[in-house]
Chains A and B, each alone.
Chain A
Amino acid sequence: MYAFTYERPATLDEASKHVANGSQALAGGQTMLAAMKQRLMQPEKLVDLSQIKALQSIKKDGNTLVIGAMCTHQTVENNADVKAHIPALADLAGGIGDRQVRAMGTIGGSVANNDPAACYPSAVLALDAIIHTNQRTIKAADFFQGMYATALNSGELITAIAFPIPKRAAYAKFKQAASRFALVGVFVAETGNGARVAITGASNGVFRHSGLEAALTQSFTPGAVQNIAIDAGPLNSDLHASAAYRANLIKVQTQRAVQQAIG
Chain B
Amino acid sequence: MKFASAISSPNFHTTPVALQYDIGDYHACMNEAQKLADVAGYAQRQASSQSKGKLRGIGYSSYIEACGIAPSNIAGALGARAGLFECGEVRVHPTGSVTVFTGSHSHGQGHETTFAQVVAARLGIAVEAVDIVHGDTGRVPFGMGTYGSRSISVGGAAIMRALDKIEAKAKKIAAHLMEASDADIEFANGEFNVKGTDKKITFGQVALTAYVPHNYPLDKLEPGLNETAFYDPTNFTFPAGTYIAEVEVDPSTGVVKLDRFTAVDDFGTIINPMIVEGQVHGGLVQGIGQALMENCVYDKETGQLLTGSFMDYTMPRADDFPNFTLGHVCTPCTHNPLGTKGCGEAGAIGSPPAIMNAVLDALAPLGVKNLDMPATPHRVWQAIQAVNT
* B252 surroundings in chain A (CB, below 8 A): 248, 252
Q: Is B382 an interface residue, CB under 8 A from the partner?
A: yes
Q: Is A177 an interface residue, CB under 8 A from the partner?
A: yes
Q: Give a binary string over B298-325; 1 marks a CB under 8 Å from any A CB, 0 the rest.
A: 0000000011001111110000000000
> Are the C-beta atoms of B311 and A179 separated by less than 8 Å?
yes
* A177 surroundings in chain B (CB, below 8 A): 293, 314, 376-377
Q: A177-B314, A178-B313, A179-B311 are in contact. Are A241 and B378 (CB under 8 A)?
A: yes
Complex Cα–Cα for A177 and B377 (A): 9
A-B contact pairs, 25 of them (CB 8 A): A174-B253, A177-B293, A177-B376, A177-B377, A178-B310, A178-B311, A178-B312, A178-B313, A178-B314, A178-B315, A179-B310, A179-B311, A179-B312, A239-B297, A239-B306, A240-B312, A240-B378, A241-B378, A242-B382, A244-B385, A245-B254, A245-B381, A248-B253, A249-B253, A252-B252
> Are the C-beta atoms of B253 and A239 separated by less than 8 Å?
no
* A244 surroundings in chain B (CB, below 8 A): 385
* B293 surroundings in chain A (CB, below 8 A): 177
Q: A residues within 8 Å of B by Cβ?
A: 174, 177-179, 239-242, 244-245, 248-249, 252
> Are the C-beta atoms of A252 and B310 separated by less than 8 Å?
no
Q: Give a binary string over B251-264; 1 marks a CB under 8 Å from any A CB, 0 the rest.
A: 01110000000000
* B311 surroundings in chain A (CB, below 8 A): 178-179
Query: Would you list the 6 A-B pairs with minimal beta carbon distance, nearest first?
Result: A178-B314, A179-B311, A177-B314, A239-B297, A252-B252, A241-B378
* A174 surroundings in chain B (CB, below 8 A): 253
Q: Please give me the residue from chain A that is nearest to B255 by CB atom.
A: A174
Complex Cα–Cα for A241 and B297 (A): 13
Chain B proximity of A1: nearest CB distance (Å): 21
The A/B interface has a contact count, at CB < 8 Å, of 35
Complex Cα–Cα for A242 and B380 (A): 13
Q: Which B residues, 249 to 301, have Cβ-Cβ distances below 8 Å to chain A?
A: 252-254, 293, 297
> Are the C-beta atoms of A245 and B382 separated by less than 8 Å?
yes
Complex Cα–Cα for A136 and B314 (A): 42
Q: A245-B378, A245-B381, A252-B252 are in contact. Are A239 and B307 (CB under 8 A)?
A: yes
Q: Please give me the residue from chain A that is nearest to B311 by CB atom.
A: A179
* A249 surroundings in chain B (CB, below 8 A): 253
Q: Contacts A177-B376, A249-B253 known; list 13 others, CB within 8 Å.
A: A177-B293, A178-B311, A178-B313, A178-B314, A179-B310, A240-B312, A242-B378, A242-B382, A245-B381, A245-B382, A248-B253, A248-B381, A252-B253
* B313 surroundings in chain A (CB, below 8 A): 178
Complex Cα–Cα for A154 and B312 (A): 31
Most chain B CB neighbours (cut-off 10 Å) among A174, A178, A179, A241? A178
Chain A proximity of B275: nearest CB distance (Å): 29
Chain B proximity of A246: nearest CB distance (Å): 10
* B377 surroundings in chain A (CB, below 8 A): 177
Complex Cα–Cα for A179 and B308 (A): 12
Complex Cα–Cα for A262 and B49 (A): 23
Q: Which B residues, 360 to 389, have Cβ-Cβ distances below 8 Å to chain A?
A: 376-378, 381-382, 385
Q: Please give me the residue from chain A that is nearest to B385 by CB atom.
A: A244
Chain B proximity of A139: nearest CB distance (Å): 32
Chain A proximity of B295: nearest CB distance (Å): 8
Complex Cα–Cα for A174 and B252 (A): 12
Complex Cα–Cα for A178 and B294 (A): 9
Q: Which B residues, 222 to 259, have Cβ-Cβ distances below 8 Å to chain A?
A: 252-254
Complex Cα–Cα for A178 and B313 (A): 6
> Are the C-beta atoms of B382 and A239 separated by less than 8 Å?
no
Complex Cα–Cα for A239 and B379 (A): 11
Most chain B CB neighbours (cut-off 10 Å) among A240, A248, A249? A240
Complex Cα–Cα for A240 and B378 (A): 7
Complex Cα–Cα for A26 and B313 (A): 28
Complex Cα–Cα for A245 and B379 (A): 10
Chain A proximity of B368: nearest CB distance (Å): 16
Q: Which B residues, 22 to 66, have Cβ-Cβ distances below 8 Å to chain A?
A: none
Complex Cα–Cα for A121 and B220 (A): 87
* B378 surroundings in chain A (CB, below 8 A): 240-242, 245
Complex Cα–Cα for A248 and B252 (A): 8
Complex Cα–Cα for A248 and B297 (A): 23
Chain B proximity of A254: nearest CB distance (Å): 12
Chain B proximity of A40: nearest CB distance (Å): 13
Complex Cα–Cα for A9 and B353 (A): 58
Most chain A CB neighbours (cut-off 10 Å) among B293, B307, B378? B378
> Are the C-beta atoms of A239 and B381 separated by less than 8 Å?
no
Most chain B CB neighbours (cut-off 10 Å) among A177, A178, A241, A249? A177
Chain A proximity of B154: nearest CB distance (Å): 38
Chain A proximity of B117: nearest CB distance (Å): 37
* B381 surroundings in chain A (CB, below 8 A): 245, 248
Chain B proximity of A2: nearest CB distance (Å): 22
Complex Cα–Cα for A260 and B122 (A): 62
Complex Cα–Cα for A252 and B293 (A): 22
Chain B proximity of A103: nearest CB distance (Å): 18
Chain B proximity of A43: nearest CB distance (Å): 22
Complex Cα–Cα for A244 and B382 (A): 9
Most chain A CB neighbours (cut-off 10 Å) among B293, B313, B314? B314
Complex Cα–Cα for A242 and B254 (A): 13
* A239 surroundings in chain B (CB, below 8 A): 297, 306-307, 312
